[in-house]
Amino acid sequence: MRRRRVSRVATISMHTSPLDQPGTGDAGGMNVYIVESAKRLAQLGVEVEIFTRATARDLPPVAELAPGVLVRHLTAGPYEEMDRADLPGQLCAFLSEVLRTEAMYDPGRYDVIHSHYWLSGQVGWLAKERWGVPLVHTMHTMAKVKNLLLAEGDRPEPQARVVGEEQVVTIADRLVANTADEARELMDLYDADEGRVAVVNPGVNLTVFQPASQGAARRRLGLPQDARVLLFVGRIQPLKAPDVLLRAASRMLIDDPSLRSRLVVACVGGPSGNGLARPQILTDLAAELGISDVVRLVPPAPQDELADWYRAADVTVVPSYSESFGLVALESQACGTPVAAAAVGGLRTAVRDGVSGVLVDGHDPERWALALRPFVTAPDFREHLSSGARDHAAAFGWQATASRLKEVYAQALAHLTKAPVAVNF
């Protein structure tokens, strides 16, 4: 008889590995989510095995990410990064490897499948049917939402993805939404059954991301002590809208030329998605705007260094057109640095307007310049929000995320077996 409690989860992340550096390629907040929640689930007694596509020949078939967390690299397509548009052609190969792995063990190895992003959901759908276990799915981003909020010049998500997402929403036993807003989008745009949608807020690593000396952080990063630092962290692509920050900074310098000697616009991240077509876009835009002297482009950074960037900044700017949550905003606030964010999606939850930062409607550079100006001209304004930022972020921890996920897994298994399930906290 199958176990009636959740002991092991098969986590499927086909298109990006949890071992990849966030801010490069397709690696971003989803990678952080998978890694951090898996570690905390293992601490709660739930083993996690993460299935992902091998992108290099020398990757080990199995790697231990942390005690109780394994990463399985499966061969599906060439040993290299692939554009997400080409990955549907590898679904069969990837699924075959997932099923082959499970077949190596006694029946009942996995109690629950948790898929991330729609491609993984397609794999999870068939594995669920084969193994007789529930499928829990997290969308992370949704085609219909992105297509409603396209950046200028960005390409809409294809209809094949829309259909694929609709199929996963229909088949999944539980859908995990990052925020109540995302839950409503699932129900309104995808006709998701309210009873199968669970809201689980992502968290932040409060050990790594915590307040520390701004001056010390600036010394380590080579920034002037009297600088006024506007920070962008994330993948360089139209969806994330780093151009809005550069255009707003240009507007600020036109309005107040005296800022030029102290202003630093730091962008930490690498090109991704549609941004790969123009990897030099921020360099070119800075030159076009005449602000190359204040713009500093930095490659993606590991968490410890990233925490220093947050601490060094006067404000972290998140002008995205769409965000299911916005982990960057939460990480910044945990370091005591307030956030100016677009009033979209999960950012309305991640940032408490007027308390931990400010929410900005639209993407007009002039409006953003007005919103950012107090952060560089009014120290008291920044200090007030800094205190609120720390308090707001403290309410979000990965341990709480993992505990809630474990509850969702148990509920999904209980629904499938029609029997009570031990959560084992």
- What residues in the chain have per-residue pLDDT under 70? 1-4, 21-28, 272-279, 418-425
84 has binding-site annotation: yes
38 has binding-site annotation: no
Has residue 165 been placed in a domain? yes
My answer on whether 113 and 138 are in the same domain is: yes
310 has binding-site annotation: yes
Half-sphere exposure of 392 (CA within 13 A, CB side): 28
21 has binding-site annotation: yes
262 has binding-site annotation: no
Distances (CA, A) of 231 to 143, 294, 317: 28, 12, 6
My answer on whether 176 and 230 are in the same domain is: no
15 has binding-site annotation: yes
Range of the domain at 219: 214-395
Has residue 227 been placed in a domain? yes
Has residue 2 been placed in a domain? no
My answer on whether 405 and 350 are in the same domain is: no
pLDDT at residue 144, as a whole number:
95
My answer on whether 78 and 227 are in the same domain is: no
My answer on whether 377 and 405 are in the same domain is: no
**Which CATH number covers residue 192?**
3.40.50.2000
My answer on whether 152 and 222 are in the same domain is: no
My answer on whether 402 and 342 are in the same domain is: no
Q: Please, are residues 12 and 119 in contact by the beta-carbon 8 Å criterion?
A: no
373 has binding-site annotation: no
350 has binding-site annotation: no
57 has binding-site annotation: no
pLDDT at residue 21, as a whole number:
63
pLDDT at residue 423, as a whole number:
47
Secondary structure (3-state) at 50? strand
Write the burial class of residue 212 (CB in 10 Å: 0-12 exposed, 13-18 middle, 19+ buried).
middle
29 has binding-site annotation: yes
pLDDT at residue 259, as a whole number:
96
Q: Is the pTM of this model over 0.85?
A: yes
Pick from 237, 93, 84: which is nearest to 164 by CA? 84
pLDDT at residue 369, as a whole number:
98
Domain count across the chain: 2
**Residue ranges of the alpha helices (H) in 191-315?**
214-221, 242-255, 281-289, 303-312
My answer on whether 43 and 177 are in the same domain is: yes
My answer on whether 408 and 383 are in the same domain is: no
Has residue 59 been placed in a domain? yes
What's the angle, vertex CA 81, arms to CA 54 and CA 40, rounded to 5? Answer: 55
Has residue 3 been placed in a domain? no
Has residue 158 been placed in a domain? yes
Has residue 107 been placed in a domain? yes
My answer on whether 129 and 198 are in the same domain is: yes
My answer on whether 253 and 149 are in the same domain is: no
pLDDT at residue 4, as a whole number:
66
Looking at the chain, the whole-number percentage of residues with pLDDT higher than 70 is: 93
My answer on whether 409 and 379 are in the same domain is: no
In which residue are the tokens 């979209």 written? 344
pLDDT, tens digit, for every residue of 310-349?
999 999 999 999 898 889 999 999 999 999 999 998 999 9
pLDDT at residue 79, as a whole number:
78
How far apart, in whole angstroms, are the C-alpha atoms of residue 118 and residue 201?
19
Has residue 269 been placed in a domain? yes
